[in-house]
Amino acid sequence: MDQNLLIAIDGPAASGKGTLARRLADHFNLPHLDTGLLYRAVARALIDSRTPLDDAAAATAAARGLKLTTFDPVRLKETGVGDAASKVAAIPSVREALLRLQKDFVQQPGGAVLDGRDTGTVIAPDADVKIFIEAAAEVRAERRFRELTAKGENARYEDVLATIKGRDARDSSRSVAPLRPAKDAVLLDTTHLDIEAAFRAALSIVEAARAGRERR
């Protein structure tokens, strides 16, 4: 492998970006950061202390106290935490407080894979490869619905779809670091792709970017 490979993957809720990022990280033997977990951890802290999600001072204090090593991904992935995370993620001082942690992760020797909403635009604007994942909201809701029912949760497809659409709208319209592709991101639409096909497509985007870099 060449000296450094930094991959930034962004996209809306339930687009499969986390799975793709993990697979690419395994493939290239790179560390992976799911940046959504940071916002989820802030939301979880507020929920657990019964603090309103729009309490900017409490949310910012929770963000400042975060350490990557103390995360419990299972609790952070529970239903409802994602939606709460998108509310605290719209608070500019929360984003500011989480910036350093993410920027430090990017600096690791060898590179890294990050996924989130603003990894290609704000966290790692110089990434070697930027991929923006898209998929129809109905398809994303169907995937999330199947995940939830497989976990034994009593979900309704219509509710899952409404939550996804609400989160898309909130994440795309906020004033700081809204969800949008970086100018140099490659768009990957996974509406009609299963995870294996999506992984192969993502891998060829990465390989094409690396080959282009070597030619330069």
Binding residues for ligand C5P restricted to 51-110, rule: CB under 6 A: 82, 85-86, 89
Q: Are 20 and 206 in contact (CB under 8 A)?
A: no
**Which residue's structure tokens are 């940046």?**
35
Closest approach, Cβ 118 to ligand C5P, in A, equals 5
One of 59, 62, 113, 116 touching ligand C5P (CB under 6 A): 116
Closest by Cα among 106, 140, 104 to 11: 140
Minimum CB distance to ligand C5P smaller for 117 or for 143: 117
Is residue 39 near ligand C5P by the rule CB under 6 A? yes
Is residue 32 near ligand C5P by the rule CB under 6 A? no
Of 35-43, 50-58, 130-138, 200-208, the segment contacting ligand C5P by CB under 6 A is 35-43
Is residue 132 near ligand C5P by the rule CB under 6 A? no
Of 115-123, 148-156, 191-199, 200-208, the segment contacting ligand C5P by CB under 6 A is 115-123
Minimum CB distance to ligand C5P smaller for 62 or for 85: 85
Q: Are 4 and 108 in contact (CB under 8 A)?
A: no
Q: Map residues 143-182 to x or -, x wherever contact with ligand C5P holds by CB under 6 A.
A: ------------------------x---x-----------
Q: Give the DSSP letter string of the chain.
A: --S-EEEEEE-STTSSHHHHHHHHHHHHT--EEETHHHHHHHHHHHHHTT--TT-HHHHHHHHHT--GGG--HHHHTSTTHHHHHHHHTT-HHHHHHHHHHHHHHHTSTTEEEEEESSIIIII-TT-SEEEEEE--HHHHHHHHHHHHHHTT----HHHHHHHHHHHHHHHHH-SSS-S---TTPEEEE-TT--HHHHHHHHHHHHHHHHHHHHH-
Minimum CB distance to ligand C5P smaller for 184 or for 207: 184
Q: How many amino acids of this chain bind ligand C5P (CB under 6 A)?
A: 15
One of 40, 130, 143, 144 touching ligand C5P (CB under 6 A): 40
Minimum CB distance to ligand C5P smaller for 164 or for 205: 164
The site for ligand C5P (CB under 6 A) is made up of 13, 35-36, 39-40, 82, 85-86, 89, 116-119, 167, 171
